[in-house]
Amino acid sequence: MLIVANWKSYVEKRDEAKKLLALSKRLSAKSRRTKIVLAPSFAHLGVLAPGNRSKVKFAAQDLSTTTVGPATGEVSGATLRNLGAEYVIIGHSERRAIGETDTVIAEKAKRAVANGLIPILCIGEKERDADAHYLLTLKKQLHAVFEPLAPRDRLRVIVAYEPVWAIGKHAGDALASSDLREMVLYIRKALSEYLPGKSAKVAPVIYGGSVEPSNIRGLAGGSDIDGFLVGHASVDPVPFAALVKALG
């Protein structure tokens, strides 16, 4: 199981970031099944990732579509890779909400793989409707990124299903575990258009949206999910430790 801790902009102090890394190292040393990936801000990535030799891995929360050159304020894929990031979150709904389009996200996926980073592609509907049109939103988001990628690069993408309506709330507002099973099946079926049959069936899919210690086991059990993308519960040491321990 994979736990990606998306710190968003919750962590503003270097000491706090360092403590969360130290905790993650202790937790991952004890855990047999769970791999921890921390996604701090760019600034804290620069503090924590260089020289990291532990089992804990790093993700950036975003990357630029630009490469080396005159692009003030942008952080390129190569910069992230050189710092020690192995993964990068792309297409998070909080970035889509400020205008990031599918076209830009597709470009970011290309920049990620070109720099040896594993893209964690966030997809998710804003709301659900009785006629299940929301499924088409997911298909469109997947198509935009997978279609232009070279076949071998498609195999590197981790899909993070994050229904926007379930983000930043509490366990009771998260997706029901029976629904999660259906969504994982649906996403893998949609991916069979871009990946060879066998690869689509086992394509890595993780879930995000109000994952907390009280619902993580239920969500993991029987849903065939490969892991979780956790926001608020990943920046508080007590619930974060409980999440990792719950997965074993």
Smallest gap from Cβ 95 to ligand 13P, in A, equals: 10
Q: Output DSSP code: residue 176.
A: P
Q: How far, in Å, CA of 152 to CA of 35, rounded?
A: 24
From the list 44, 92, 125, 212, the catalytic residue is 92
Nearer to ligand 13P, 125 or 162 (CB): 162
Q: Output DSSP code: residue 221.
A: T
CA distances from 13 to 78, 168, 230 (A): 25, 21, 19
Nearer to ligand 13P, 174 or 195 (CB): 174
Place of tokens 């924590």: 48
Counting beta carbons within 10 angstroms of the beta carbon of residue 147, is it exposed (0 to 12), middle (13 to 18) or buried (19 or more)? exposed
Nearer to ligand 13P, 146 or 165 (CB): 165
Nearer to ligand 13P, 63 or 167 (CB): 167
- Chain residues binding ligand 13P by CB under 6 A are 6, 92, 162, 167-168, 208-211, 229-233
Per the annotation, the verdict on 92 as an active-site residue is yes
Q: Output DSSP code: residue 127.
A: S
Give the CA dihedral 138, 183, 131, 171, nearest 10 degrees.
-100
Smallest gap from Cβ 183 to ligand 13P, in A, equals: 15
Residue nearest to ligand 13P (CB): 231
Per the annotation, the verdict on 147 as an active-site residue is no
Smallest gap from Cβ 147 to ligand 13P, in A, equals: 24
DSSP for 66-118, please give it: --SSS-TT---HHHHHHHT--EEEES-HHHHTTT--HHHHHHHHHHHHHTTPE
Smallest gap from Cβ 131 to ligand 13P, in A, equals: 26
The helix or strand, by DSSP H or E, that contains position 153, with its residue range, turns out to be helix 151-154
From the list 94, 162, 212, 232, the catalytic residue is 162
Nearer to ligand 13P, 20 or 230 (CB): 230
The residues near 191 (Cβ < 8 Å, ≥ 6 apart) are 142, 146, 159, 200, 203
The set of catalytic residues is 92, 162
